[in-house]
Amino acid sequence: MTQTKPVPAGLLATEEPDLFFEDNTVGRLKKEIWDASDAEIDAILANYGMPSPVEWGKAGSYIQTTVRWQVEQNRKKNDIVLIPVGSTELHGQHMPSASDTLYVSQICEGVRRYTAKQGAPIALALPPIMYGAHPYHHLGMPGTVIVRENVLREQLIDVMLGLWNDGFRKQIILNNHGQLWVLESAIQQFCKRYQLPGVYRVIDWHRAVREFFRTKERGGKWDTNFVHADESETSLGLYLHPEMVDMAYAVDTEGKSWLPDGHFDKSVDPFSRPCRWSEGEGQSAIEMASTPEGVVGKATHGDPQKAKRPLAAILRYLTLLNDQILEAFPPGTVPPVEEFTLRKDEEMAPFLKEPMSEGWRPVYALPRIGQDTFSG
């Protein structure tokens, strides 16, 4: 007789023996999405206006496409800004090279639409990174534009500083490309260089909801594990912008690895292996040699229905994060200066005022302290 093991304290069980969610607000949200019916997932997506065409040029969608008085009024209700980050990268013959930037922008736009209906729209910054950093093994691929890491890092730091100066002192960088190490270092360098109180996050959105990219063998919806321009990304494209996907040109490929499987994980770390895919080179052939098609996986398995649950999960998670940040730090407030930085309250007071209000000073007049004081 098989005995059922008790569920460990602090965890929520699922029908999958190896899948548990934490018994906290994030875990309960994920379990709700995991257990939801297809009709319930459709209803969630509809609440976010998904799918909708990308809104880069739509009035009122981004800070840069909204009249100034409205930006200021919105910020008094919600001073969080989402910064979508993607790349220009070959995604096979069947998808556009802007795929990464399109996916992440459309997700951010969904969150803005939803929070706007609640009366406090989150702000969006136009994607500052249309040309991203890349791992070594992408080198040479046509259609892939590789920006040097220091250039990308400095650009993002400058964008963060400008947004902070404009009163957006809670910043969430949402990433949709294999450049996480650069974005993490940008946040760390920003904080060391300027020591400005605020909330700063980088979220690799696929990994944030990795449970919803599980394969069928592990209780999920997918035939294959997430890699690149494959079943997963093709499904996202077919759901979010089907007019930019041509399945007549979709192909299936397999990369070439020189080490046995088990050392390096897949894109969303489904197996908790010793190393993430980005933590080394030399274990497999570069893309030019092994997958010149620009696809790593089975693009022909793409299906828009498969994309719905992970998208519902990330939309709901970002909304929860928005709500909990604002609960901890209402609009116009930040973490305590002397607990978050080495600065003093009195020094920061004029820089933390509403921009252009009486006594306000721009952040560019603030003396720099700490590490990297003398760098450009």
Q: Are strands 20-22 and 11-13 parallel, antiparallel or unpaired?
A: antiparallel
| Residue 144 falls inside a structural domain | yes
| Residue 18 falls inside a structural domain | no
| Residue 189 falls inside a structural domain | yes
The pLDDT assigned to 1 comes to: 42
Q: Could you tell me how far CA 213 lies from the centroid of its own chain?
A: 15
- Angle, vertex CA 50, rays to CA 87 and CA 169, nearest 5: 60
β-strand partners of 123: 81
Mean pLDDT, residues 256-274: 92
Rounded to whole angstroms, the Cα distance separating 323 from 45 reads 18
Q: What is the pLDDT of residues 6-22, one digit of tens each?
A: 888 999 999 999 999 99
Mean pLDDT, residues 100-121: 98
CATH of the domain at 311: 3.40.50.10310
Mean pLDDT, residues 122-146: 94
| Residue 284 falls inside a structural domain | no
The pLDDT assigned to 5 comes to: 77
- Domain that includes residue 30, residue range: 25-211+307-328
Does the pLDDT value for residue 69 go beyond 80? yes
Q: How many domains does the chain have?
A: 1
The pLDDT assigned to 371 comes to: 75
Q: Between residues 1 and 251, which one has the greater pLDDT?
A: 251
Given a contact cutoff of 8 angstroms between Cβ atoms, the answer to whether 12 and 22 are in contact is yes
The pLDDT assigned to 373 comes to: 52
Q: Could you tell me how far CA 8 lies from the centroid of its own chain?
A: 30
The pLDDT assigned to 376 comes to: 47
Rounded to whole angstroms, the Cα distance separating 198 from 178 reads 26
Q: What is the mean pLDDT of the chain?
A: 95
Does the pLDDT value for residue 375 go beyond 60? no
Rounded to whole angstroms, the Cα distance separating 225 from 215 reads 6
| Residue 7 falls inside a structural domain | no
The pLDDT assigned to 128 comes to: 75
| Residue 133 falls inside a structural domain | yes
β-strand partners of 22: 11
| Residue 360 falls inside a structural domain | no
The pLDDT assigned to 277 comes to: 87
Burial letters for 142-171: b for 16+ Cβ neighbours within 10 Å, e otherwise? eebebbebeebbeebbebbbebbbbbbbbb
CA dihedral for 98, 101, 104, 106, sign (positive or negative): negative
Does the pLDDT value for residue 63 go beyond 70? yes
Question: Cis bond leading into 51, ω under 30°?
Answer: yes
| Residue 35 falls inside a structural domain | yes
**Main-chain dihedrals φ then ψ at residue 165, nearest 5 degrees:** -60, -30
The pLDDT assigned to 98 comes to: 97
Does the pLDDT value for residue 3 go beyond 70? no
Mean pLDDT, residues 224-239: 97
Burial letters for 187-215: b for 16+ Cβ neighbours within 10 Å, e otherwise? bebbbebbbbbbbbebbbbbbbbbbbbbb
The pLDDT assigned to 372 comes to: 67
